Chains A and B, each alone.
Chain A
Amino acid sequence: MRAEALGSHRYSCVSSELSNALIPLVVSERSCLAFYRALCTRFSVEAAGGPDDYGPIELWMPTGRLRWDRALSAIDYADMRLVIHENPGFLATFASSSTRDMDDDLLRAEYESFDAYPEPTKGGRARLQLPAQLIQPRSFRTVWTLTSPMAHGADEKSGNVKLFRRHRVVDALTGSHAYVPFMAGNAVRGMMRDMVMGRWLGLLGLKASDIPPARAHALLAGGNVEQGVDTGNVRVDVRKRARALCPPWDLLGGCTDQQIMAGRARIHDAVLVCRENAWQVHQALGVETKDLDEWAETLPEAAELTQLRLGTRHAHRELEDSGGSQMIFNVELLLSGAQMVHSFQVFSLDGVDQVTASCLADLLEDFGAHGVVGAQNARGMGLIAFNPYEPGPGTPELPDPTIYLEYVDAHRDEMIEWAMMRGEPDAPARASGKGGRGGKKGPPPPRATAEEQAADRETF
């Protein structure tokens, strides 16, 4: 890299730019050669040498020098992806160390510092013996087919590139690891929570902004535990009331009225249909275990299923007093046509109220009608098509959604009263009188009496 080509500012920040650029480059390219070309282009480097350079780039090692194309030929791109995902900063640190001013002894000492690291091992790449038959937990599942590209933000920032969320998986067919795009169950759960709560409030003729903020926060985001609250103080009456008057709450749970409540539904990650995940998703796609190897070979690798899309925000400088700044950004998208297997469980369906199960059926109908997942929906991303969720082996069918709708209609006034209530009047006491930043002011409410606690046991 030359300061003249990059400019002094970029040259001074080259290590952070390189660190930010490595992951987007490695996910957007498909081979070592393409990655290297993109890297060189980004930093205005002539790999083959140019008029101001000595010649083709070479890799300097204590044992000698190696031309870049030969060095690349020895690298497995899957391994390169894995290493770069692990720690791009590590690579950028070495790549941006200036060797120009070092004498040979210093340079050799730097190379020899690698000796302090243990020998790299690939370890554990043994194929796992897949079972012919599993005892499967009861669940509902379907296959989403993306009818437009899908965005779902990664955990970390990479400069002006918003990458797709990935996690590390083990491919049981090869024993190898890979970073594979997925949609977090937590994100799907949040989206479903928005839908089912919004629909419930709509049926009551309310908007979220009509009800107390703490209740709205509980319904839409799961609520929060107030500082100092004794979470071990279980109020069955409060819980039963919440579950009975708000079926979506029974379904998804959260924390309201100082009660942390488990929901009935467990929403899983959406699993990408790709070669690395073949062993996990084959049953959902009707492929028998005996045909798994052959089928897996027909699937694309996960890395083949995303692409970067360039976006621009214009400054609109033609407008008077425009304070905006021109900006380009990249978003990594899952390709249209990709498929994801999604499932959830209702535990235990036998013990779940029919109204709650019917509420879930209503939610799934609503979800099917909206057919949108992930981020950037306003730009048309995340459209999906799917067949209705099917119950797996041993899983009972969900009841009709009309049970829920009729129930809401019959208990409308009580539901509105519950939604508008600013905490239960006889809410349990705090464990201590401490008032923190998030705690309510004033004296703590009285503890539940011994009679009330006894009543809880009787009503159970």
Chain B
Amino acid sequence: MGYSPPWSAEAQRWACVSPEPLTLRAWLAAPLQWDAYNGVPCEGALQYAVVQLASGVSPEEAFAGAPRDELVPIPIPIADQEMGGFTVALASWAQPAPSAIESTRIRRKRARAESYGLAKVNVAMAEFKSEQVPVPTLVSAFVEFHVVGDRALLNELLPHATHLGRGRSSGHGQVLGWEVCDDPERRSILDRGRLMRTVPVSAGVNARPGTFSVRHATTRAPYWHRASLTDCMVPIVRVL
């Protein structure tokens, strides 16, 4: 029997009931943190919202006490599919708008040295170090996710999905608003032969060569968790 957090029953209401192929278009009000190696999936943002709504606290506190080696399933209104022995969400990585371009944003952190009651504060190193960290970003009017999901539940949950990617607290990836549209072409895994998300190699997806690389990667959110680590076909993301 796996670990079950106290709020899991509350979270269960967000599980996908009536799946249909959809496109979620997130209009962005701020650049998205983007490393061009791993794409930006939407499942993490939806899981973050579900955990906060179900538990009332942030995810790192909601999972306090959970065994680290166990991946706790968090239901979201997106359908899953078994592929090559792994559970994979039917949701593509973020697809930038045609006019998108990669850029850089400097993140600054400045120590308030005069307020620390010390005779000498070294802001160049150690605990009071001030920082200017360049972060790669994507400038795009919107990004699209092609999913198979529950339209009614997504309409209810998306107002709580406020940001995509990293750097949320300072506004990176801020979502101006969401659109939910039909996706008759069902592009959650493949779009005209182009791979749209990470899938296990063992699934044998017939993607067009050149649209993916093969490497170790994880197959489901939370993607940092090693429980789903395996040999994967990973899309190659290029912004032209």
Contact = CB atoms under 8 A, between A and B. Distances in A.
Given A208-B115, A266-B163, A126 B99 contact: yes
B139 interface: yes
Interchain residue pairs A-B with the least CB separation, the first 6: A134-B177, A185-B171, A208-B115, A209-B117, A351-B56, A186-B170
Nearest to A239: B61
26 contacts: A128-B99, A134-B178, A136-B176, A155-B105, A170-B99, A177-B139, A184-B170, A208-B115, A211-B117, A213-B128, A216-B116, A217-B112, A236-B65, A261-B60, A262-B60, A263-B169, A268-B29, A268-B174, A269-B30, A343-B29, A348-B52, A351-B52, A394-B159, A457-B65, A460-B6, A460-B61
B98 interface: yes
A177 B101 contact: yes
B118 interface: yes
Given A213-B117, A236-B61, A131 B177 contact: yes
* B25, B158, B161, B176, most chain A CB atoms within 10 A: B176
A460 B112 contact: no
A371 interface: no
A102 interface: no
A244 interface: no
B176 A134 contact: yes
Contact of B60 (A234, A271, A453): A234
Give the bracket for the number of chain B residues in contact with chain A: 35 or more
Interface string B45-56: 000010011011
A279 B117 CA distance: 47
Given A167-B31, A167-B105, A176-B99, 17 more contacts: A124-B100, A134-B178, A134-B179, A135-B155, A137-B159, A137-B160, A137-B177, A168-B31, A189-B170, A208-B115, A216-B117, A217-B116, A234-B64, A252-B169, A269-B174, A351-B52, A437-B126
Contacts of A454: 65
B57 interface: yes
A460 B169 CA distance: 24
A453 B79 CA distance: 35
B126 A438 contact: yes
B169 A221 contact: no
Given A134-B27, A239-B61, A262 B169 contact: yes
Interface of B: 6, 25, 27, 29-31, 49, 52-53, 55-58, 60-61, 63-65, 68, 97-101, 103-112, 114-118, 121, 125-129, 132, 134, 139-142, 155, 158-163, 168-172, 174-180, 240
* B108, B110, B129, B141, most chain A CB atoms within 10 A: B141
A16 interface: no
A213 B177 contact: no
Contacts of B134: 155
B112 A194 contact: yes
Contacts of A220: 112, 115
A232 B68 contact: yes
Contact of A125 (B99, B118, B129): B99
Nearest to A201: B115
Given A123-B240, A172-B141, A345 B162 contact: yes
Contacts of B169: 189, 252-253, 262-263, 265-267
A43 interface: no
B45 to A, nearest CB: 10
Given A137-B161, A216-B112, A437-B125, A262 B58 contact: yes
Interface string A194-228: 10000000000001111111101100111010100
A131 B101 contact: no
Contacts of B31: 167-168
Given A253-B169, A267-B170, A168 B112 contact: no
Given A170-B100, A263-B169, A456 B108 contact: no
Contact of A460 (B49, B65, B108, B139): B65
Contact of B171 (A138, A186, A236): A186
A185 B141 CA distance: 18
A385 to B, nearest CB: 22
A418 B114 CA distance: 21
A88 interface: no
Nearest to B142: A128
A227 B10 CA distance: 37
A35 B93 CA distance: 43
* A186, A253, A279, A454, most chain B CB atoms within 10 A: A186
Contact of A135 (B61, B97, B98, B177): B177
A190 interface: yes
* A138, A217, A226, most chain B CB atoms within 10 A: A217
A124 B101 CA distance: 10
Contacts of B176: 134, 136, 280
B127 A214 contact: yes
B53 A351 contact: yes
Given A135-B158, A155-B106, A186-B107, A177 B99 contact: yes
A167 B6 CA distance: 43
A187 interface: yes
Contacts of A175: 98-99
A139 interface: yes
